[in-house]
Amino acid sequence: MLSKKKLEKLHSVQLKMLTFVIDIANKNNIPYYLMGGTLLGAVRHQGFIPWDDDIDIGFKRSDYTKIKELLSKSINESDYFLVDDCQNTYSLFFMKLFDSNVMIQTPGNTKNSEHAFIDIFPYDEVSQKRVRRSIQKFKFSFWNIAVINRAENINHSNFLKTITINFQKVLTSSLSLKQLKSKRLVTALGHSKGIHFWGNLSTQYGLDHELLKNSFETEKFITVPFENISLKIPQSYDTILSRQYGTNYKDYPPIQDQVVKHVIDISFVTNLTTNE
């Protein structure tokens, strides 16, 4: 388990990365959306959830493309590097901003370290009608799983899942990884024009839990403290958080669930100046 001192160091690193992204977004008038536990932390803790170990931020698709271009240009003068699905060895649908000076270990990969990161998600247009939205999510998930299994060559211990994945591999065997990624993107962008919601198709919580539904959720903002900085969150944060976590989202989970889940160790490649 990650110690409190090391978790504080990780939070400091992640906060600097978040600030880097936010500063670029603000300078270019690009709205951003804190997501999941990051938004919950901003509202309930005025910063990180004390036992959380990641940061999630999202942008509408057109702004996601803009911020990717701006980050790609800006990181040359920093210790950060950006990875997205244009890289052959990367399978996820969203970007990660990494800090080249900081290494972390995760529970599923104790033999190898990776660089500390924050996640940057696209919000794509999805139908207001639940059935159509569900169909889009199903199609996206099919291609998303195909990409991940092709790129990472995952072996599943579950027999039924193994059978399903092998069948999917047969169905998609004629397509290259690049073509699979293209199919995934086309599905994400596949909602017909008109009235729509914005959704995080990569969500692990169910698409209907990670939607932005109207201008009060996408265009009206308030400023709140987050650790030692100030961030914008939707004015309708209560509706958004209730949709994802339930109306009792301000209640703390049971003590046994207040644990760090994704990171078990952190180390620094160079001698960085940190507040210890």
Q: Would 205 be classed as within a structural domain?
A: no
Residue owning tokens 């080249």 = 100
In this structure, is residue 19 part of a structural domain? yes
User: 260 and 172, same structural domain?
Assistant: no
Q: Domain check: are 10 and 41 in the same one?
A: yes
Q: How far apart are CA 182 and CA 188, in angstroms?
A: 10
Are 83 and 96 in contact by the 8 Å Cβ rule? The answer is yes
The reply to whether 82 falls in a domain is yes
Residue by residue, DSSP assigns 78-143 as SSEEEE-TTSTT---SSEEEEEEEEEEEETTEEEEEEEEEEEEEEEEEEESSHHHHHHHHHHHHHH
pLDDT at site 111:
60
| Residue 63, domain CATH | 3.30.460
CB environment 61-76: b (16+ within 10 A), e (fewer): eebbebbbebbeebbe
Each of the 276 residues of the chain gets a pLDDT tens digit; together they read: 789 999 999 999 999 999 999 999 999 999 999 999 999 999 999 999 999 999 999 999 999 999 999 999 999 888 999 999 888 889 999 999 999 999 999 887 666 689 999 999 999 999 999 999 999 999 999 999 999 988 876 666 667 777 877 888 888 999 999 999 999 999 999 876 677 999 999 998 899 999 999 989 999 999 999 999 999 999 999 999 999 999 999 999 999 999 998 899 999 986 544 444
* Residue that is last in its domain, among 194, 224, 251: 194
Residue-wise pLDDT tens digits, 81-92? 999 988 888 999
**Start-to-end C-alpha separation, the chain:** 19
Please report whether residue 103 resides in a domain: yes
- Asked if residue 247 and residue 120 are part of one domain, the reply reads yes
Note whether 114 and 135 are same-domain residues: no
**pTM score:** 0.92
Q: What is the full DSSP assignment across 157-226? A: S-HHHHHHHHHHHHHTTTS-HHHHHHHHHHHHT-SPSSSEEEE-TT-SS-GGGSEE-SHHHHT-EEEEEE
Please say whether the dihedral angle defined by the alpha carbons of residues 123, 149, 117 and 264, taken in this order, is positive or negative.
Answer: positive
- Residue 66 in any domain: the answer is yes
Among candidate residues 194, 225, 247, the one where a domain is terminated: 194
Find the domain containing 244 and state its range.
4-124+215-268
Same domain, 26 and 110: yes
| Neighbouring C-alpha atoms within 13 Å toward the C-beta of 43 | 24
> Nearest to residue 116, comparing CAs of 267, 276, 6?
267
21 with 83, same domain: the answer is yes
Q: Does residue 209 form part of some domain?
A: no
Q: Of how many residues is the chain composed?
A: 276
In a domain, 77, yes or no: yes
How far, in Å, CA of 96 to CA of 82, rounded? Answer: 6
16/106 same-domain check: yes
Measured distance CA(58)–CA(119) in Å, rounded: 8
Kindly state whether residues 105 and 9 are assigned to the same domain.
yes
Alpha-carbon torsion (216, 220, 225, 230), positive or negative: positive
Helix then strand then coil, in percent of the chain rounded to 5, is: 40, 25, 35
Of 138, 163, 194, the residue at which a domain comes to its end is: 194
For the chain, the domain total comes to 2
Same domain, 90 and 103: yes
The contacts of residue 91 (CB under 8 Å, 6+ apart) are: 85, 147, 148, 150, 151, 152
Specify if 203 maps to a domain: no
Residues 110 and 136 grouped into a single domain: no
DSSP-derived secondary structure letter, 266: E
12, amino acid identity: S
- Whether 103 and 160 map to the same domain: the answer is no
* Residues 134, 118 share a domain: no
